[in-house]
């Protein structure tokens, strides 16, 4: 069922010019040319297109980052954890540059405490050092103390991620699972975390308000204000 670009656009929900743009940028493989100016696109293209949109819209990745990730995905030599590295690099915020000696040491101690391999040059590690540096800069030295809780929470998550990936039939599927698990996983985690936070803080506030009898306007605190 190879189709032309207009149909590809319809199926994927992506405008034709944007598809052309993605083709130019190498996010989408060229269609099969049936003549110098006529090409056919397949389901692979539809799928790839959706993946790209997921990374761009949900993951907030730049086009360059998406290209990087897809490159890793398409590389037949790429191992699972190399692909993971590439993906987390793409998802991570661009290197802020400022790094603090103390933050470095805090990160090292944390990694050691967790019994992990110390990889100071990994993207994740750099990102963590950046976070710790910033935390110190804004005067939240105690932030570092929450790291171990994060690690404990992250462990089962990583296990699920991995199980999810390993349950894939083919290697291609597994690699895509890495992408989906990371991008969607991080987004879902942020959302769920916010929900739990609100749930807890709501209980607290309720208790507090019933004590203080404040003029609680009881509208849903979660309406959009845009």
Site for DNA in 44-83 (CB under 7 A): 56, 62-64
1 binds, among DNA, a second copy, none (CB under 5 to 8 A by kind): none
Q: Determine which residue in the list 155, 172, 207, 210 makes contact with a second copy, applying CB under 8 A.
A: 155
Half-sphere exposure of 114 (CA within 13 A, CB side): 18
Number of other residues whose CB lies within 10 A of the CB of residue 147? 19
Structure-token pair, residue 44: 């692979």
Q: Name residues contacting DNA, limited to 166-225 (CB under 7 A).
A: none
Measured CA distances, 63 to 21, 81, 155, 219 (Å): 10, 22, 30, 40
Give a three-class secondary structure readout of 80-104.
HHHHHHHHHHHHCCCCCCCCCHHHH
CB of 35 to a second copy, least distance (A): 31
Token pair, residue 146, equals 């929450």
Q: Does 100 bind a second copy (CB under 8 A)?
A: no
146 binds, options a second copy, DNA, none, Cβ within 5 to 8 A by partner type: a second copy
Nearest distance from C-beta of residue 20 to DNA, angstroms: 6
94 near DNA, judged by CB under 7 A: no
Local structure of 192: helix, strand or coil: helix
Coil, helix or strand for 212? helix
117 in contact with a second copy (CB under 8 A)? yes
Count interface residues toward a second copy (CB under 8 A): 97
- Report the nearest approach of a second copy to the CB of residue 17 (Å): 18
15 binds DNA per the rule CB under 7 A: yes
Tokens of 14: 């992506």
Binders of a second copy among residues 8 to 67 (CB under 8 A) are 13, 47, 50-51, 53-54, 57-60
Q: Within 173-212, which residues bind a second copy (CB under 8 A)?
A: 177, 180-182, 184-202, 204-205
Q: Which is nearer to DNA, 56 or 124 (CB)?
A: 56
- 33 exposure class (CB count in 10 Å sphere: 0-12, 13-18, 19+): exposed
Cβ neighbours, 10 Å, residue 164: 15
User: Residue 140, interface with a second copy (CB under 8 A)?
Assistant: yes
Query: Binding to a second copy by residue 225, rule CB under 8 A?
Result: yes
- Residue (of 48, 62, 63) closest to 172 by Cα position: 48
- Nearer to DNA among residue 34 and residue 146 (C-beta): 34
Binding residues (CB under 7 A) for DNA: these are 4-7, 15-18, 20-21, 23-24, 30-31, 33-41, 56, 62-64
């Amino acid at each position: 069922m190879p189709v032309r670009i207009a149909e590809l656009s319809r199926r994927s929900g992506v405008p034709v010019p944007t598809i052309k743009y993605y083709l130019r940028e190498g996010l989408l493989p060229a269609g099969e040319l049936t003549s110098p100016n006529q090409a056919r696109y397949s389901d692979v293209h539809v799928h790839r297109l959706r993946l790209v949109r997921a990374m761009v819209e949900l993951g907030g990745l730049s086009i360059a980052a998406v290209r990087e990730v897809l490159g890793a995905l398409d590389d037949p030599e790429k191992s699972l954890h190399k692909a993971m590295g590439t993906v987390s690099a793409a998802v991570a915020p661009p290197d802020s540059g400022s790094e603090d000696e103390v933050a470095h040491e805090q990160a090292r101690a944390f990694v050691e405490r967790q019994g992990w391999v110390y990889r100071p040059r990994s993207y994740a590690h750099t990102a963590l050092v950046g976070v710790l540096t910033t935390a110190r800069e804004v005067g939240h030295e105690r932030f570092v103390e929450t790291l171990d809780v994060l690690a404990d929470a992250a462990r089962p998550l990583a296990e699920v991620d991995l199980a999810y990936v390993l349950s894939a039939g083919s290697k291609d599927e597994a690699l895509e699972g890495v992408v989906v698990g990371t991008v969607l996983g991080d987004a879902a985690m942020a959302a769920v975390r916010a929900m739990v936070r609100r749930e807890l803080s709501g209980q607290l506030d309720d208790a507090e308000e019933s004590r203080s009898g404040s003029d609680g306007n009881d509208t849903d605190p979660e309406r959009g204000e845009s």
